[in-house]
Amino acid sequence: MESDARRKCAERLTAKGAGGLPETSDSDLERSSASAPLRSFDTRYGSVELLSAGDGVEVIRHRIARGGRFGMVPAGGWTAFESVTVLSGRLHCLSEEMAPLVPGDTVSAWPVVRPRIFEADEDTVLFHVASEPVFQTGSEELAALQTLAREVAERDGYTHEHCLRVQNLAAALGGAAGLPPERIRWLMYGALLHDVGKSRVPADLIRKPGPLDTDERAVMRQHPSWGREMVSACHLGQAGPIIEQHHERLDGSGYPYGLHGDEITVEAQIVAIADTFDAITTTRSYHLAESVEAAVAELRRCAGTLFRPDLVELFAALPDLYAPKPIRPRRREGGDEAHPA
């Protein structure tokens, strides 16, 4: 049995060394080519191609146009090994300090405990190997929702980095709070897409200068439920309750349902803290960015009323809070009430 396994292994190594798999009728060999991956889909900035898959392992090729992004995000219960090798082009990491990745460079993580987001400085091709399935998480549906979330963030006077920062901070706080890996995975989707429902709010309402009247506020306050509906329509439904509750507050003063305390999922309370922190520390047209210390002081002032005190203290202790922000402030065009804290 063992020698048979070695023979098969040697067979594959030989095929690889010859520059490609030989034509064969052997059923244990599966072949894909540059023109015919097993499966693929286009993204806003390129394409994702599944080259081979078996025993939970996936080998994926990403083609990323200049300015496009690639993320190593936790998947499949968070025990996955992931490795990325750059074949051509160049990427830099947005989410932490790291030398740019150039052809021949490989980055690996096992397990992946927090997302790492890379941006292509030029057209880039990379190989991505994962020990648990991640291809589905890069689906067209998620890509479309991410695009909507980015557009919503920009309409709100942020940049797309707002979504990524809220995602990073929420994942870090979820880890500090002891959430298991699978829940952190859904927390990250909920954080990334927390305001995607605003894409259904009429543009003139989003852009309206000054305060909203009662009817307008009622429309705006539907965005958490609209967001839940949108993710529930695809395979991301488990992020729905997090999105729907991200404006609920500990004392019942939030919306859409006025939930109290433990009626609100921990994940939604985590997103609320991360979102509020990033709102305070980001410059928008009507608001200059305040310091990390001032934002933490504000969260502590609201602990026990709006936010769970233990989560606020865990958040205040996160080293990620003090990482430099890769943001490009944008002018904001109109009013909203996304961040009432």
| Tokens, residue 84 | 């990325």
* DSSP 8-state assignment for residue 150: H
Q: Which is nearer to Fe ion, 51 or 299 (CB)?
A: 299
We find the least distance from the C-beta atom of residue 217 to Fe ion, in angstroms, to be: 13
CA nearest neighbour of 171 among 111, 99, 244? 111
We find the least distance from the C-beta atom of residue 229 to Fe ion, in angstroms, to be: 14
We find the least distance from the C-beta atom of residue 133 to Fe ion, in angstroms, to be: 30
Q: Which is nearer to Fe ion, 80 or 338 (CB)?
A: 338
Q: Which is nearer to Fe ion, 170 or 338 (CB)?
A: 338
Q: Which is nearer to Fe ion, 114 or 223 (CB)?
A: 223
> Taking a C-beta distance cutoff of 8 angstroms, is the pair 246, 256 a contact?
no
Q: Which is nearer to Fe ion, 32 or 282 (CB)?
A: 282
| Tokens, residue 274 | 């991360």
We find the least distance from the C-beta atom of residue 231 to Fe ion, in angstroms, to be: 14
Q: What are phi and psi of 114, to 5 degrees?
A: -155, 160
Q: Which is nearer to Fe ion, 123 or 154 (CB)?
A: 154
We find the least distance from the C-beta atom of residue 136 to Fe ion, in angstroms, to be: 26
We find the least distance from the C-beta atom of residue 163 to Fe ion, in angstroms, to be: 7
CA distances from 192 to 82, 93, 154, 162, 203 (A): 21, 18, 14, 9, 21
- Footprint on this chain of Fe ion (rule: CB under 5 A): 195, 275, 338
Beta bridge partners of 284: 287
* DSSP 8-state assignment for residue 34: T
> Taking a C-beta distance cutoff of 8 angstroms, is the pair 235, 145 a contact?
no
| CA atoms within a 13 Å half-sphere pointing along the CA-CB vector of 137 | 20
